[in-house]
Chain A
Amino acid sequence: MKTLLVKGSEAIALGALAADCRCYFGYPITPQNEIPELMARELPKRGGVFLQAESELAAVNMLLGAASTGVRAMTSSSSPGISLMAETFSYLAALELPAVIVNVSRGGPGLGGIEASQGDYFQATRGAGHGDYHFLVLSPASIQEAYELTARAFSLAEKYRQPALILTDALLGQMKEPLRLRRLRFPRYPVEDWALTGARGRPGRTLRSLFLGPGELRARNLLLQRKYQAMRREARAEILYAEGAELVVTAFGSLSRIVREAVEMAREKGYPVAFLRPITLFPFPDRPYRKLAEGGQPFLVVELNCGQMVEDVRLAVCGRSRVESLALPPSDLPAPEDIYRRIRRCLAQR
């Protein structure tokens, strides 16, 4: 098995290639340019399509067109570009297209900055566009996981006929780690019964989202909601040191690595602290949260924004535990010691 030293962005591109992604459409934006650049080099060699679009708006609609033909396709961008795609996200969800979107997010609002930030948590998990819909949202914490989750995203997207979003940030996108190019065997799912491939030997097919007949749109919405319910079984989280924990510290994505270090620091000093990291942000893995809240242990939610995931944690624990927020708006990254001090304070309040 080959091991490479690559950036997170490159690992995402390699994960897409491992999943046999056939089409990439994108528009340049820092800090994710390594994805289109790697795809531009590699996809044509494999008989795939790389196309630089005139905007993120065009890119995501090219993605819509390609995905509608049942071909594995993706786009990637960073926060402002993702905002520009929002209208079409709603269409992708409405047309039930298996498309993969990557957000190597940066600080906002506005042009913001290019540092690591988790300010797009709401945008990712609540659906940036209009209407009642969700994306599947996966968030890796290492370069290895970025590779594997991207490949998995293609499989899940196909399984549920559903757009899947990888939410990561500048920190993971830009840092380098060894990547073991493991063979990935996520299943493929048939597309023949819905994809637009030309009406050979069958009636014409339509992918549409306009429903004006009485009750039609309601039925359509309920169908989507049933699917989102079914998707709950894909919820994933990493749980460490749950046994006898008196505080649960939770964080996602690259920041969770610093948080984990702080948790380990606390444990070395004898404090019984658990670590909980959601891997899927939608569906949110509320079961482990609920379970850990049964004993009434407090939670500390650490995030690189002004406090977004904390809302999902509060919903999951549903008043059983105290939930504290350590919200760190984009600036310098915290050191494990900063988080450790907050852990100490939380424990002192018991």
Chain B
Amino acid sequence: MSGPKMKFVFPRVLTERPFHYCPGCHHGIVHRLLAEVLEELELRERAYGVASIGCACFLYYYFDIDICEAPHGRACAAATGAKRARPELAVFTYQGDGDFAAIGLNESLQAAARGERITAIMINNTVYGMTGGQLSPTTLPGQRTTTTPEGRDPRMYGYPLKVAEILAQFPGVAYCARVAVNSPRRVLEARQALRQAFLAQLEDRGFGYVEVLSACPVNWKLDPVSANKKVDELTQTFPLKIFRTWEGL
């Protein structure tokens, strides 16, 4: 038989420590893709990651690269400081929707508006995963969370914040995309988006942003398969799209 052979290659950037994430959580898939992209772009030796406060705060357990912890919401400011201090580093943040878009929205938007040469990865699971599934700025109308037990009421909490759509308007942003990882095709697209978001800084084009619609089965109170399917529903509010790229759409 001819044709391509499948081979399992473990990215060197990843440590062998098993992920602590819940079954069906998408954080692990995104970690794997990020590791592959860092390896492909040969960034292991000049990568600087900012671990934010959320379910992925243990980022440093899984990546064999330099990683700094930032207070909740301040990842983009810390990344700005590191990148300005040592422009040769490939600096990225890995944040949740609460970290990036609630407590840290100002730092996030301002870094993007300044066109910081950093890459921000935002895991949008529509809840505060780490603290037990509370309302987040990206919670859908009607979605039940532990602090909106009757569902998000728009009269009380308004409507979800569409971060990619906001960032897409900034000339400082060189790349802005929203992706998902709930199907093989989408996983490949997500990988490509991450790659572009790193090239945005490596080629000195501007801020790179990738928002990943991610399943949080535990806090959505769904089994992993149903949670994976539910991500399709999210795409109606949060369309998957490349919103901006320096190469032109």
Contact = CB atoms under 8 A, between A and B. Distances in A.
A321 to B, nearest CB: 43
Interface string A196-217: 1111110111111110000000
Interface in B53-106: 57-58, 60, 63-71, 74, 77-86, 88-89, 106
Given A64-B81, A199-B64, 9 more contacts: A58-B110, A61-B78, A64-B78, A69-B48, A71-B85, A196-B48, A204-B63, A206-B60, A206-B68
A209 B58 CA distance: 11
Interface size class on chain B is: 35 or more
B178 interface: no
Interface residues of A, number: 40
A-B residue pairs, 8 tightest by C-beta: A65-B81, A62-B81, A61-B77, A65-B78, A66-B85, A65-B82, A66-B81, A198-B46
9 contacts: A49-B84, A58-B74, A61-B78, A61-B81, A65-B81, A65-B82, A91-B70, A196-B66, A198-B46
Contact of A204 (B65, B78, B88, B107): B65
A200 B45 contact: yes
Most B CB within 10 A of own CB, among A55, A196, A210: A196
Interface in B136-156: none
B244 interface: no
B227 interface: no
A73 B107 contact: no
Nearest to B72: A87
A53 B51 CA distance: 21
A57 B67 contact: no
Contacts, number: 134
Given A88-B74, A200-B45, A201-B45, A207 B68 contact: yes
Contacts of A63: 81
A280 interface: no
A83 to B, nearest CB: 15
B26 interface: no
Nearest to B15: A204
Interface of A: 22-23, 25, 49, 51, 53-55, 57-59, 61-69, 71, 73, 87-88, 91, 95, 196-201, 203-210
B50 interface: yes
A22 B87 CA distance: 13
Contacts of A203: 64
B117 interface: no
B84 A61 contact: no
A62 B69 contact: no
Contact of A61 (B46, B65, B107): B107
B73 to A, nearest CB: 9
Most B CB within 10 A of own CB, among A23, A54, A63, A203: A54
B47 interface: yes
A282 B5 CA distance: 65
B45 A210 contact: no
A23 B85 contact: yes
A208 B60 contact: yes
Contacts of A58: 74, 77, 80, 106-107, 110
A91 B74 CA distance: 11
B44 interface: yes
A207 B85 contact: no
Nearest to A88: B71
Contacts of B58: 210
Nearest to A206: B60
Contacts of A67: 81
A197 B107 contact: no
Contact of B66 (A62, A88, A204, A209): A204
Contacts of B89: 69, 197-198
B107 A199 contact: no
Contact of B47 (A57, A64, A199): A199
A64 B84 contact: no
B195 to A, nearest CB: 19
A202 to B, nearest CB: 9
B82 A196 contact: yes
Contacts of B71: 61, 87-88, 91
Nearest to B74: A61
Contacts of B48: 69, 196, 198
A54 B107 contact: yes
B85 A22 contact: yes
A204 B45 CA distance: 8
Most A CB within 10 A of own CB, among B50, B78, B83: B78
